[in-house]
Structure 1
């Protein structure tokens, strides 16, 4: 028999960490990456695009060298479906057979809020960061509104941290440009305690920082619609010259053409070992999966990396006929950056820590980015 063939779908944090772990554990398995482009887009760095601290070329890392060094085949394609047993991945560039599969194709934003096309979604790719930069530079003054939502069928499927970073980062940028007094910054949320998965102390610090910076808040009101020049909430209308809104998350559209089990919010169902129930040697990792765990378990790169490492090791065990028992840890590590300082939050089972904004956390975030991307260059 030939070497086991493992296919990884997705070139984001989870997919690449899975590939690195698989190759570290085994030089024999045949690895294939399926993705539209052989590139890693480092989306956490988009918060620094409006200030000019980062450009698109700083955040797009070609993967040719990484793939060559690790002997990984690249199948340039979009996934379009999956066979009933999970052993054949359908793509728009042909079928890819596998003995083991890791689904790491991420999530997509729910765009059901009426008028959402009038807002910029901050994490909707590097182009979104550039659009924010250009719109902000073109404004002589006015109101900028910031908010985020969730998936009503799966509240954990959301990502709010980057919105806080844009709020504080844009405030800092406008102050540096000496035009903060020409702008009104407003943060809105349906929750009275936005960012609560970060922990009670972190929420207090975030809201305290908003008050200190004269950033207005409208809390406890559900967004009804976004208009070209306003955000309409249940009781409040916020006139807005630029709206940044992060919707909740659901699974990518290609999953609809697969037999994979889905969560209420449309994500692929995974267990504590990252296995997809009912499917042999099929695993899910990252934002596109729904897993057992605490209600604060984040949708972020660090958590995706932890899941990917465990899934890779468990898949190799399964292919070898060994017991699959390793579970991933639920862990949140977040630095809410404001261009010159960062608020560090870490959370594990039974322990939450939040440090006030400081310059060391800002430097640490930049240093982590450099170190993380170096392994793929």
Structure 2
């Protein structure tokens, strides 16, 4: 009897799981569920404002990839689950399974007053292009950059792209000979922003800001936004353009899933990527809340590691075997500055940061090509 596995999502964790499943279980009946068969390469959205990348280059049609791996695609938006995850309910019908992997990603919190006045680069191509167009139309002014977290789940943040956007736009304005007409301000509720990267990384990033004459407004809770300012407990920041990455929460349909959720609204998982209390339901990537160190990142590399772990344990569950695989908590990122890159690494035993280097910028560009290669037609 053929075993049916459903995967929700079409991002990093979902596609890594597809490849891992096909390698380990070629005869499994595999269904991918997402609104459309497309991968958006989020890490390179930070290059759209400078023109280094276009939206078309980062949005990959997956139909050929899915056909090559004999994966059925169900086009639909998930609105809930039934029978403990054995049925996935979408706006275009239902999909039954014998095991389920949730890899749908999370979403940004939009609870701060006036959040509509801020642009969030990781919301997609349209947001990144809006930043590009707004910046190109400005003769000068103040640019405010910041990121937040979930008040009930402090690790639910994505700060790295904001450091990249900050340094990248600084580099772009210098190339254009316009930097003297702009004031750049970085704001954050924490006194040591980016601490999940490690203390050395925080110090290194703040040094880089000082070297680039970027002002900071740190240690003050963000209260909201207006069209021309960021409001904080430590005073307002006048701004002509606000670039802000809100904290994250789980997918909108999580509350309708019947599965246990963390305080931050993510699917509650154990170290094997199993959703607690659920039978043959696993989670990987930003949709989940996992045990581990307080710096456990929500990033593509971690999603890939979790996806591989989830697949191994999902197949074990289908065979009636206990889960044994665990993911390694690990943070690897290159904070790009448009012409250089700052390498940051952290594990449970080691943390390091290497200074800006042209090699790391090109390494990030090469990794993009290498990562997308299996999914391109």
TM-score interval w.r.t. the shorter chain?
A: over 0.9
What 5-or-longer segments of structure 2 have no aligned partner? none
Q: Which residue of 2 aligns with 1:209?
A: 208
Q: How many residues align?
A: 376
Q: Is 1:127 aligned to 2:126, yes or no?
A: yes
Name the residue aligned to 2:287: 288
In structure 1, stretches of 5+ residues that fail to align are none
1:136: which partner in 2? 135
Q: Which secondary structure does the structure 2 equivalent of 1:23 belong to? A: helix
TM-superposed CA distance for 1:27, in Å, is 0.9
Please name the residue that 1:177 is paired with: 176
**In structure 2, what is the Cα distance between the partners aligned to 1:170 and 1:71?**
42
Distance 1:376 1:143 in 2: 40
Q: Which residue of 2 aligns with 1:224?
A: 223
* SS of residue paired to 2:84: coil
User: Partner of 1:364: helix, strand, or coil?
Assistant: helix
Q: 1:301 aligns to what? A: 300
* Residue 84 of structure 1: how far off its partner (Å): 3.1
Q: 1:152-191 residue pairs with structure 2 within 5 A?
A: 152-191=151-190
SS class of match (2:85): coil
The residue that corresponds to 2:327 in the other structure is: 328
Alpha-carbon separation, structure 2, partners of 1:90 and 1:49: 35
Aligned residue in 2 for 1:353: 352
Q: Alignment RMSD, CA only?
A: 0.6
Inter-partner Cα distance in structure 2 for 1:176 and 1:347: 32
1:359-374 aligned at under 5 Å gives the runs: 359-374=358-373
Task: Give me the whole-angstrom Cα distance separating, in 2, the residues matched to 1:230 and 1:53.
Answer: 29
Alignment TM-score, normalising by the size of structure 1: 0.99
Paired residues of 2:84 and 2:259 also in contact (CA < 8 A): no
Give the Cα–Cα distance (whole angstroms) in 2 for the partners of residues 366 and 164 of structure 1. 17
What CA distance in whole angstroms lies between the structure 2 residues aligned with 1:168 and 1:118? 22
How far apart are the structure 1 equivalents of 2:9 and 2:262?
20
Large movers: runs of 4+ above 6 Å: none
The two structures have a TM-score, normalised by structure 2, of 0.99
User: What is the alpha-carbon distance in structure 2 between the residues aligned to residue 324 and residue 221 of structure 1?
Assistant: 44
C-alpha distance in structure 2 between counterparts of 1:15 and 1:27, whole Å? 17
Residue by residue, what CA displacement relative to the aligned partner does 1:30-64 show, whole Å, maximum 9, x if unpaired?
00000001000001111100111000111001001
Aligned-partner Cα distance in 2 for 1:361–1:35: 33
* Aligned-residue offset at 1:166: 0.5
Counterpart-to-counterpart distance in 2, 1:130 and 1:71? 35
Q: CA deviation at 1:369?
A: 0.3
1:238 match: 237
| Cα distance in structure 1, aligned partners of 2:231 and 2:313 | 47
Q: Secondary structure at the match of 1:237?
A: strand
Distance 2:74 2:54 in 1: 28
Distance in structure 2 (CA, Å) of the matches to 1:8 and 1:96: 10
Alpha-carbon distance between aligned partners in 1 of 2:77 and 2:175, rounded to the nearest angstrom:
42
